[in-house]
């Protein structure tokens, strides 16, 4: 009964977990500008529209986008932080603008820029006496004044469950990328320590060498110290080998040989296992024979004792 109860509880938890999952998005998350999405340099920013540090970083980000143009791809993702009470509303506003304008990037980036510039309107203290519908209405009025979409259209988007799901998907996507705060910047999928203190020159110091490496094979080691030899530790990557280290290309035949040996020994182990299984089967058969023989001996012994006992009784009777 206890096991059945646990099984039922686990089933309920599993159903609840799977039903709570948001579907895989129908298009890549975020909003990108510049070069193609598979450009040699892809810069990603995870932002919270009501994060002061994101606001401080944004002007330099826009300068970097303008400087590189189509040489890089820049994409931002919304990641509303829970301690910014109205951040999810402001983040959903990004997706509302995207849906209402057929993903017009000028409108989307203008919305983010203007919310950054006026984010104090929706800080926690500024809205502590407002209800959530009043906060949404305030943001809708602001958007209408920008001329991006009408107030009614923005409010309809904020009430749309599908757009609400898009905002949740973006947040979960950021979590899957190990994002825990804002702003977070990735270059080609690797986190960098960029923040509001970075200038355009700081960005160039990271991006330019990557752009320069496009189509250029990594350089080989030219001179190694005495007693060391240049070796490839991976395809097209070399270093000076220390004593006892093996060359990459020399290691490959040995690796293949070891794999062949492994296959051979695996086959041998299987054969040995089959023999042991057969011996175990024979052992069981022998044990059964011994048990039957033992039973026969016991029966014989009992019968023998009975006959002897009767023999002595007869002797006493006739004597």
Task: Write out pLDDT tens, residues 158-209.
Answer: 999 999 999 999 999 999 999 999 999 999 999 999 999 999 999 999 999 9
Looking at residue 164, its pLDDT comes to 96
Tokens of 25: 């998005």
Degrees to nearest 5, angle at CA 156 with 155 and 161: 115
Looking at residue 51, its pLDDT comes to 98
**Cα 193 to Cα 56: distance, rounded to the nearest angstrom:** 15
| Better pLDDT: 256 or 130 | 130
**Cα 92 to Cα 170: distance, rounded to the nearest angstrom:** 10
Hey, which residues does 131 pair with through a beta bridge?
A: none
| Better pLDDT: 296 or 124 | 124
The hierarchical CATH code for the domain 27-212 is 3.40.30.10
Residue closest to 182 by CA, chosen among 89, 88, 78 = 78
| Better pLDDT: 90 or 304 | 90
**Cα 107 to Cα 138: distance, rounded to the nearest angstrom:** 19
Dump pLDDT digits (tens) for 255-276: 455 656 666 677 777 778 888 8
Considering the entire predicted model, what is its pTM?
A: 0.63
Centre a 10 Å sphere on the Cβ of residue 245 and count the other Cβ atoms it contains. Answer: 14
Look up residue 245 and give its DSSP letter: -
| Total length of the chain | 319
| Residue 319, pLDDT above cutoff 60 | yes
Looking at residue 271, its pLDDT comes to 78
For the chain, the domains span 27-212
Average pLDDT over residues 1-25: 48
Looking at residue 276, its pLDDT comes to 80
């Amino acid at each position: 009964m206890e096991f059945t109860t646990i099984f039922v509880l686990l089933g309920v938890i599993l159903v609840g977990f799977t039903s709570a999952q948001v579907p895989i998005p129908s298009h890549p998350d975020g909003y990108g500008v510049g070069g193609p999405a598979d450009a040699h340099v892809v810069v990603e920013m995870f932002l919270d529209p009501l994060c002061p540090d994101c606001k401080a970083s944004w002007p330099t980000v826009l300068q970097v986008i303008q400087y590189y143009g189509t040489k890089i791809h820049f994409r931002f993702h919304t990641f509303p932080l829970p301690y910014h009470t109205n951040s999810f509303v402001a983040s959903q506003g990004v997706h509302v603008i995207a849906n209402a304008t057929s993903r017009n990037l000028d409108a989307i980036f203008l919305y983010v820029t203007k919310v950054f510039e006026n984010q104090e309107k929706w800080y926690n203290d500024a809205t502590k006496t407002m209800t959530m519908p009043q906060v949404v209405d305030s943001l809708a009025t602001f958007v209408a004044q920008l001329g991006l979409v009408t107030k009614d259209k923005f409010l309809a988007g904020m009430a749309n469950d599908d757009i609400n799901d898009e905002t949740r998907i973006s947040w979960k996507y950021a979590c899957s990328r190990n994002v825990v705060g804002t702003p977070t910047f990735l270059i080609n999928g690797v986190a960098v320590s960029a923040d509001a203190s970075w200038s355009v020159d700081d960005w160039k110091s990271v991006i330019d060498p990557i752009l320069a490496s496009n189509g250029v094979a990594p350089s080989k080691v030219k001179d190694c110290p005495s007693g060391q030899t240049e070796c490839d530790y991976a395809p097209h990557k070399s270093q000076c080998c220390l004593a006892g280290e093996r060359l990459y290309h020399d290691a490959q035949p040995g690796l293949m040989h070891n794999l062949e040996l492994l296959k051979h020994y695996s086959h041998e182990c299987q054969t040995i296992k089959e023999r042991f299984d057969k011996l175990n089967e024979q052992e069981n058969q022998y044990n059964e024979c011994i048990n039957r023989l033992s039973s026969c001996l016991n029966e014989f012994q009992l019968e023998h004792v009975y006959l002897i006992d009767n023999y002595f009784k007869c002797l006493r009777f006739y004597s």
